[in-house]
Copies of this chain bind each other. A is one copy, B any other.
Amino acid sequence: MDKVTQNIDLVSGDVETKRADIRAYFVNTWALYESVFDTLASDEAFYERPQPLRHPLIFYFGHTATFFINKLMLAKLIDRRINPEFESLFAIGVDEMSWDDLDETHYDWPPVQAVRDYRDQVKDIVCRLIDTIDFTLPIDWDSPLWPVMMGIEHERIHLETSSVLIRQLDLEKVRPHAFFPACTAVGPAIENKLVAVDGGDVVLGKERDHRLYGWDNEYGHAEMDVPPFRASRYLVSNGEYLGFINAGGYEEDRYWDEEGLAWRNYHHATMPEFWRGEPGNYRLRLMTEEIPLPLNWPVEVCYLEAKAFCNWKSEQTGCHVRMPDEAEYRRLLQVAGLEAEHHESPISANWNLEHYASSVPVDTFAHGDFYDVVGNVWQWNETPIYPFDGFEVHPLYDDFTVPTFDNRHNLIKGGSWISTGNEIALHSRYAFRRHFYQHAGFRYVVSDKPVKTDFDVYETDELVSQYCEFHYGDACFGIPNFPKAIAQIALEAVEAKGKALDIGCSVGRTAFEIADVFEEVDALDFSARFVQVGARMQAKGRIRYERQEEGELVTFQERTLEGLGLTGDYSNIHFLQQDATNMKPIFSGYDLVIAANLIDRLNNPARFLKEIPNRMNLGGILLIASPYTWLEDFTPKCNWLGGFKKDGEPVTTLDGLHALLDDSFEMIREPQKVPFVIRETRHKHQHTLSEVTLWKKK
């Protein structure tokens, strides 16, 4: 078995060579993964839980095989399971779980040999599939070999994470293995220093036709102008970190942010996870051995510890010390001459299992003015993972990335000694919770540039998502977009075009549709959740939301103003939370008021209608659109405008509107029914007619 592998070019070449390459890559990955488990001292060790909130290693041993079966089933490349019981047992539980999920009485783990046999069966099936499947080049998202590549790269991730778990097992449960030699170059601490980096532009995100396999989060586009900054020449070493500890770093609350403090207190942390011993006599746990703490190796910490260190360092130096953000890290690659794929122009670094099964001194691999810009240990970034413009979810693995778009998973970059495959590709974007341990440390930078850490998350609220789709999503049953249709009707009727009000604007589409024509547009809604979507669309030109498809299954949707042909400025729209029946006096002087699907959702629609003429200019247009769906949940029956019998005779809502409005308005057109569709699932919709009436202020 080759320990060192190269990523597969999925674009060029011929089919049969590609088939052979992928088969070899698969077989190599499979063997490599199993070899990690050879460091376990006995079968018994498979059943140990290295971390109290994680499954025993037997789970991970079976998991990467089951993953293949599950994805191949989903892709309909195979049509039956190998072992349904295993494939349920080994499917879920990669992340931290609650204590309840981990109650061992819930699990009846099979013998190691049974899992080995299972792995053999799966290996045969995958090999046979690779051998026989019909495919063409390039291999892209839709290729039948994509799920195969997905399974391989997934196993390579677990190759690394399993090595971390093994590092957390008791020493007596593991044994040295010739395949995983630790570095022996140990020395005194090396003094770090800051190196200036010129500013420059970076482009993140890769193209859909890129030649390497990629996870969904890598695709898309982001461009940044990175201002000059300084960065530490070396990764922070154990020796440098010891300064923080010796300065009382773990005791002083002020170095820790809120999240860090909560973590430190909960875990009673006093030193990094892989450190052993006590002050003056620290040792370091490697994969299969423990050694005196090598002061010149990179320290391995979680983000929260790295952040506390930076805060301490800031205090010490009076500078803004922090970790790089994603763009700054890319700029480091640029200035180090590493903005390339490893397999195209090999980079000398402690990664890809090319050297040791451990870190090496931080002054071993120079990259330009820096060391370890890639390799040795991962480097925490300040940036939480977020979707690039144009992000799409791969349908075969829709929960790989999206659940991590929560501003709580920070990027790690550069790879460690055991990072391989996609992990060491230029565009890879792995992210973990900030308290998570990997073979990961950090490099610090000094910069006054604020770092963006609050990215838009996917709207998951069912109702808000339905309205996102209603305003910005796909047409259903060929019915034209309703908020746009309302805007068009209004624009045909108005004369003066000073101020417009969209009251009950929901998520804001109509406001965008009229903003080009009016000087100012106030877009108000009672629901802050709705208005925020409009405001986000205005600020970012983009919204993202989960769309319900069937039961709990969702798809992830992104919509942009540009994609809807809305290319205006829109700074004249004012999205604000406001009660339609209790608006501030400032909301007046309107030439147009749009109240679409509003009146039958107000507690007291008459109050709104009696007041609105006072807020309008002479000759101004009031557009009311409503399906007149009166419901006592929203409007007490005594406040309905119509839809009841009064004094024995039917009163329609249109009658009620006339009664309230005829004194101040002239109805300028016959009522018109405009349809709209609200999509609840891919099969279920509300299909409604909204009656539009136009009233001209007298």
A482 at interface, CB cutoff 8 A: no
- In angstroms, Cα B649 to Cα A399, docked, is 9
A13 within 8 A of partner (CB): no
The reply to whether B552 and A70 contact each other, CB–CB distance below 8 Å, is: no
Task: Verify A686–B686 contact, CB threshold 8 A.
Answer: yes
Shortest CB–CB separation between residue A683 and chain B, in angstroms?
Answer: 4
Closest Cβ neighbor of A675 among chain B residues: B477
CB contacts (< 8 Å) of A690 on chain B: these are: 683
Question: Which of the residues B91, B476, B551 comes within 8 Å of A640, measured between beta carbons?
Answer: B551
Given A74-B650, A91-B649: A552 touches B684 (CB 8 Å cut-off): no
A272 to B689, CA, bound (A): 57
CA distance A117 to B327 in the complex (A): 87
* 0/1 interface trace, chain A 647-686, chain B, CB 8 Å (1 if under): 1111011000000000000000000010001000111111
Q: Are B629 and A684 in contact (CB under 8 A)?
A: yes
Interface residues of A (CB under 8 A from B): 66, 70-71, 73-74, 87-88, 91-92, 398-399, 476-477, 550-553, 627-630, 640, 642-650, 652-653, 673, 677, 681-691
Q: How many copies does the complex hold?
A: 2
A630 to B646: give the CA distance in the assembly, Å: 41
Pick the residue among B87, B628, B640 that contacts A683 (CB under 8 A): B628
Chain B nearest Cβ from A82, distance in angstroms: 13
Which residues of chain B are near A477, meaning CB under 8 Å? 477, 687
Q: How far is the CB of A631 from chain B (nearest CB, A)?
A: 9
| Contact indicator B688/A628 (Cβ below 8 Å) | no
Decide if A550 touches B687 in the complex (CB within 8 Å).
no
For the complex formed, measure the closest distance between the CB of A90 and the CB atoms of chain B, giving whole angstroms.
8
A579 to chain B, nearest CB (A): 23
Bound-state Cα–Cα, A534 to B379, Å: 71
Given A91-B649, A650-B74, A630 and B551 contact (CB-CB distance below 8 Å): yes
Residue of B with least CB distance to A652: B550
Closest residue on chain B to residue A396 by CB atoms: B649
Given contacts A643-B552, A644-B551, contact A73 B686 (CB under 8 A): no
Q: Determine chain A's interface SS by DSSP, over half rule.
A: mixed
A683 to B674, CA, bound (A): 10
Distance, CA A215 to CA B192, complexed state (A): 101
Give the complex CA separation of A677 and B648 in angstroms.
32
Which chain B residue has the least Cβ–Cβ distance from A691? B683
Question: B residues within 8 A CB of A684?
Answer: 627, 629, 686, 688-689
Q: How far is the CA of A650 from the CA of B553 in the complex (A)?
A: 7
Query: Is the Cβ of A92 less than 8 Å from the Cβ of B648?
Result: yes
CA distance A379 to B399 in the complex (A): 78
Q: Are B687 and A649 in contact (CB under 8 A)?
A: no
Of B71, B87, B653, B685, the contact of A550 (CB 8 Å cutoff): B653
Cα distance, A553 to B677, chains bound together (Å): 24
Query: Closest residue to A649 on the B side, CB-wise?
Result: B70
Smallest beta-carbon distance A428→chain B, Å = 22
By the criterion CB–CB under 8 Å, are A647 and B87 in contact?
yes
Contact status of A677 and B681, CB under 8 A, knowing A550-B652, A630-B551, A650-B74: no
Cβ–Cβ contact A648 & B683, under 8 A: no
Q: Are A73 and B649 in contact (CB under 8 A)?
A: yes
B677:A683 contact, CB within 8 angstroms: no
Show 12 residue pairs from A and B whose CB-CB distance is below 8 angstroms, ordered by the A residue. Answer: A71-B649, A73-B649, A91-B647, A91-B649, A476-B687, A550-B628, A553-B643, A628-B683, A673-B683, A682-B689, A683-B690, A686-B687
Expressed in whole angstroms, the minimum distance between the Cβ of A427 and any Cβ of chain B is: 25
Closest residue on chain B to residue A552 by CB atoms: B644
Q: Is the CB of B92 within 8 A of A627?
A: no
Q: Does A74 lie within 8 Å of B649, measured CB to CB?
A: yes
- The CA of A673 and the CA of B552, in the complex, are separated in Å by 20
Bound-state Cα–Cα, A88 to B651, Å: 13
Please provide the 7 A-B residue pairs with the shortest distance between their CB atoms, ordered closest to farther: A551-B643, A91-B647, A687-B687, A627-B683, A551-B630, A550-B643, A683-B689
In the complex, A682→B654 CA distance in Å? 14
Bound-state CA distance A73–B652 (Å) is 13
Min CB gap A561→B, angstroms: 28
Check A687 against B689 for contact (C-beta < 8 Å): no
A628 to B551 Cα, complex, angstroms: 7
Cα distance A640–B644 in the bound complex, in angstroms: 40
